[in-house]
Chain A
Amino acid sequence: AQTVTQSQPEMSVQEAETVTLSCTYDTSESDYYLFWYKQPPSRQMILVIRQEAYKQQNATENRFSVNFQKAAKSFSLKISDSQLGDAAMYFCAYRDSGGSNYKLTFGKGTLLTVNP
């Protein structure tokens, strides 16, 4: 079974600085998708960024980018120019490619605090 590990229960960053959240996963599949979701105090799960495993290029969405290391099964999230609104719980998630369901396997999450 696939597993997702987030080794940092909590992280903090100063406003305008850069922070990197770590995620590792375990799978025997060669093709899959990886995601980072954000859960602010409102509890809403918001998709931040996604990466297709067959793509070598790291995904980027504005201030958010990933460092995808397929051989190492590592998928870290970098947040640049951190803003107060980035404070949230961040979840790394995995999904098999293909098949007939979109079951996501989540890590335990990293609570990010942004200090003014």
Chain B
Amino acid sequence: DSGVTQTPKHLITATGQRVTLRCSPRSGDLSVYWYQQSLDQGLQFLIQYYNGEERAKGNILERFSAQQFPDLHSELNLSSLELGDSALYFCASSVAPGGDSGANVLTFGAGSRLTVL
């Protein structure tokens, strides 16, 4: 158990629907990251939050949004789902948003498998 909790583990839904993926970071970590892993695109960075504020944005579609709440958990909202959104969505956390400490690495959750039919 990495300490990063993601729910649900599996989700099957239909095209056009909306889903919410939830992530609780490891205790003490203030920064949360979302990654998408698909067969064709590999692992892609979506977005990062630190202590409730957005810090960096990657290849996140406009149909997707995220937020980090005061208790530091984060949610990734995926709307108007398409077949191509089927993927494994990872959340990761770290202590701080910056700094060069080699010990400040990302810890990943087990992922949420989304299947869009």
Q: Which residues of A contact B (CB under 8 A)?
A: 31, 33, 35, 37, 42-47, 50, 52, 91, 97-109
Contact = CB atoms under 8 A, between A and B. Distances in A.
Nearest to A45: B108
29 contacts: A42-B110, A43-B110, A44-B2, A44-B108, A44-B111, A45-B111, A46-B2, A50-B105, A52-B102, A91-B43, A97-B100, A98-B100, A99-B98, A100-B56, A100-B97, A101-B48, A101-B98, A102-B31, A102-B94, A102-B105, A103-B33, A103-B48, A103-B58, A104-B35, A104-B43, A104-B106, A106-B42, A107-B42, A109-B42
Interface size bracket, B side: 20 to 34
Contacts of A98: 98-100
Q: Which of A42, A50, A99 has the most CB of B within 10 A?
A: A99
B72 interface: no
Nearest to A44: B110
Interface string B91-117: 010100111101011111111010000
Contacts of B33: 102-103
Contacts of A37: 108
B88 interface: yes
B55 interface: yes
Given A43-B88, A43-B111, A109-B42, A102 B102 contact: no
Contacts of B104: 102
Given A44-B2, A97-B100, A105 B55 contact: no
B45 interface: yes
Contacts of B35: 104
Q: Which of A33, A52, A102, A107 has the most CB of B within 10 A?
A: A102
A43 B11 CA distance: 15
A102 B97 contact: yes
A101 B99 CA distance: 9
A46 B3 CA distance: 12
Contacts of A103: 33, 45, 48, 56, 58
